[in-house]
Each structure stands twice: as C-alpha cells, then as structure tokens.
Structure 1
C-alpha cells in the first residue's frame, strides 16, 4: 500500500502540475493538457476516431505486433540456440548478422512498404526485424552459457545431441530468452507503429500521424496512452508465462531473504 500510494501521489502531482502549467504558463496548443487528452480518449471510445472505430485501429496494430512478435521470437530462439551451439556456424554468420543489425530500422520500414504494400504484411515485417535481434542475441548468449560439465556428463551417460539440446541447453537458456521477451513485445509495437507511420490505411500509428498532421497534440498523447496500456497488458501476460515456465527453478537467495 505504501508503494502504490507513493506511485499514485507522483502521478497526481505530475498530472496536476501539467494541467496548471498548460492553463496559466505554457501554450496548450503545443503541449495539450491532461483534461484535453482525457476528453479525446472519451471521444475516441464513445464516438470513434477520424479513421473509424478506435477498436478497429487497436485490433490492427495489435495483430501486426503480435504476428511480428511470435514470428520474430521463434526465429530468434531457433537461430540463436543453433548458432550458440555451433562455433563454426556462428563464426561464419557473425559479420552478416552484425551488418543486418546495424541497418536503421526506419529504412527497412520504408523498404517493406515498397515490397509488401500498405497492408499488414509490411508492419509485421518491421516488427519481426525488431523482435528477432532482441531475442536472437539473448538466446545465443543463453546457449553459450550452458554449464559444460553438465553437458559432458550427459554425453558420458549416453545422451544424444538432440537430447542434450532439449533437456539441458533449451531449459538453461529459457531464463535468457524470457528476459528478452519482456522488451521484445515493446519492440514489436514500435515496429508496427513505425510501419504505420511510414505508410498505412489503418492502425494506431496512422491515427497518431493524422493527429500530428492536424496539430492535435491531445490526439498524439491519447494514442501514446493507448499503446502504453497495450504494452503493459502484454508485459503482465509475459510475466505470468515466465512464472509458470520457471516454476521448476528454486527461488533466488534474495527472494528467500525477502520472504
């Protein structure tokens, strides 16, 4: 209760100072104010947006982000573990992966619009690229950090390469992979929104871009709040999944001390 009370007090202080500043000192045309943002959210959810139903815009962006997240995470996990366990493949692919990771994402988003059009495919591709590298490097490092003695003992006992991979490597890398997933969905949302900024006919990114072009600062903040709420809900689901998948691990010493 103490922590939540302090958090609530900080939020109230921040919003109150913003409201007062925008009323008496700064220009609300450029900075808007919480009451205007709240009214814009009420209008969107009750009357719809200039692009149609807010639920449709949310659904489109969420589908793009979810598809890019799932595909990027799967590809990142598979290739990360594969290259993490094969020094030859990792040495061969290292410069190509680093070069691909160095390409600015906004450039790729523009290319994807040219290649795949204004539909969902180009946004899924942008989200895929952002998620893939976030997950790949963690999965790669997790596969490299597996205890060598554990692997050697398993091979002495007759375990095949596949059995070592599925019973030792993957479980050992799970914590690394799940840690990357917490930020990966945020990257997926960023990819979807950036793709919609680059070119789209629906989505929250398009809604924010239209608000920007009409100097509707309240609409920009309202779109940011909707995206933030979606990201927080996804973070809650990923945390619940992580707790379920890692139930087999003993609690850390710090957690035991707190309990």
Structure 2
C-alpha cells in the first residue's frame, strides 16, 4: 500500500513538474507561446468546451467510431489468428498476402475508404479496423502457436476431443495474448478514427482539431489532444478491467489487480 501511494505521488510530481516547466518556458518566451501553447489557455479551452457542452457531440462520434473499430477489428483479428494457427496449410497459403497487407502503410487507405463508404462513420471505422486487425491477429496467432506441445500431448492422451482442446487449451492461451494486444489496439483505433476525420468529416474530435489548426489556435489543438488522450486512457482502463475479470486465473491479471 505504501509503495502504491509513493508511486502515485511520484507520478503526480512528474506531471506537475512537466506542467510547471511548460508554463515557465512559454511564460518566459523561451518557447514561443504561438507554437507551443500555454497551459492556462489550454485549461480554459477545455473548460469552455465542457461547460458549454459543445465538445460532447464531437467526442461521442469519435468514441463510437473508435469502439466499433476496436470491437470489429479485435473479433475479426482473433478469429483469423485462431483459424490460421490451427490450419497450417491455410497459413502457408495466405502468408505472403498477410505480410503484404501488414506492410502496407494503411493510413493511405483513408481516401479510398472515403470514396467507397462516403464521409460518414463507416469510412472511419473501416480505417480503424485495418489498424486494429493486424495488431490482434498476430498476437492471437502467436499465442495459439506457442501452446506447449507437451500440454497438447497430455491432454490428447487423456481423451480430450478437438472441441475440448479448443475450449480448455487453445482459447485460454489466445485470451491472454488477445487482451495484451487490445491495449495497443486502443491507440490504433483512435488513430483510425481521428485520421479519417482529418481527411473528411463534419464532426468528431479530428474535425474539431482540424478547425483549430486552420485558425492557428494551438491551444485548442492541444486541448483536443488532451481530450483524446484521456479517452484513450479510459478505454485502456476498461480493457484492463475486462482482462482482470475474464482472466482472473492468469498471473498477469492477478498482478494487475
């Protein structure tokens, strides 16, 4: 308990130190406020947005796009990873295509998705999906492939069917890797949503930040980044809570409890 309190104190101290350094550097104009913003004005912008409620509509759109991209991408990535890990022939057949798709800078697909799906929510979810999918896919694929062969052999010797192997061996192994990958996938889902909004949208946090950028309002840009960062941390915390609940038997879940 004392260690946790001390750690929280150190983290808070580091955060306050960074804010103080930022304030001092911009107040003394060592860093030009026009380019680096000012903490007080960023805080004022955040207050204005939330007090007036103007930010909620934009934030709701971005969060929905992010959640859908994370959900669909995680389910598809986990399903594909599980299938290919258990189907060596299919994995060998699709290997070059998967590697080529993963090597592609998928952000450049945003204009294509805008043409295919329009400037609405679907194009942002599609971009987020492509970013989340591969993060989850490779982790689940690796997790299933790394199941201990001795465990499989012993389980088969005890008469376990393929269905029982899937339920009691493969899925528990994949679950740990799935949740681990989802912590990274949260950020990818936000990237997909915000980049898509940058390229074409009439609402969302990406649109709000783009408008502030066009007006050379660096404080509003930073305020938008702060909001997105807070939401990403909140979503990551929810993933962590789900991980501890689902994988309560796993050592990593117990350590994070």
What TM-score comes out, normalization by structure 1 length? 0.92
Are residues 248 and 12 of structure 1, via their aligned partners in 2, closer, same or farther at CA, if it must alter by over 3 Å? closer
Partner of 1:46: 51
Q: What per-residue deviation string (whole Å, max 9, x for no partner) do you get for residues 205-231 of structure 1?
A: 111111111111001100000001111
1:16 match: 20
Shift of 1:115: 0.8
- Correspondence list, 1:43-122, <5 A: 43-48=48-53, 53-122=54-123
Show CA shifts across 1:58-113 (max 9, x none). 10000000001000000000000110111101100110011111111221111111
Q: Deviations over 1:212-257 (max 9, x none)?
A: 11111001100000001111111111111111112123x47x96xx
| Structure 2: runs of 5 or more not aligned | none
Once the two structures are overlaid, the 10-residue window that deviates more, 181-190 or 156-165, is: 156-165
* Structure-to-structure mapping, 1:180-219, within 5 angstroms: 180-219=181-220
Alpha-carbon offset, residue 150 of structure 1: 2.0
Distance 2:48 2:247 in 1: 43
How far, CA to CA, are the matches of 1:172 and 1:10 in structure 2?
37
Partners of 2:192 and 2:61 lie apart in 1 by 13
What is the TM-score when the length of structure 2 is the normalising length?
A: 0.93
Deviation at 1:160, TM superposition (A): 2.5
Q: Secondary structure at the match of 1:189?
A: helix
Please give the secondary structure, in 2, of the residue aligned with 1:205. helix
Residue of 9, 12, 34 corresponding to 1:5:
9
Aligned length: 249
Q: How does 1:117-196 map to 2 (within 5 A)?
A: 117-196=118-197
Per mean C-alpha deviation after superposition, the further-off stretch among 33-42 and 8-17 is: 8-17
Q: CA RMSD in A?
A: 1.5
Deviations 1:21-78 (A, max 9, x none): 1122222111111001001111111235xxxx21111100000000010000000000
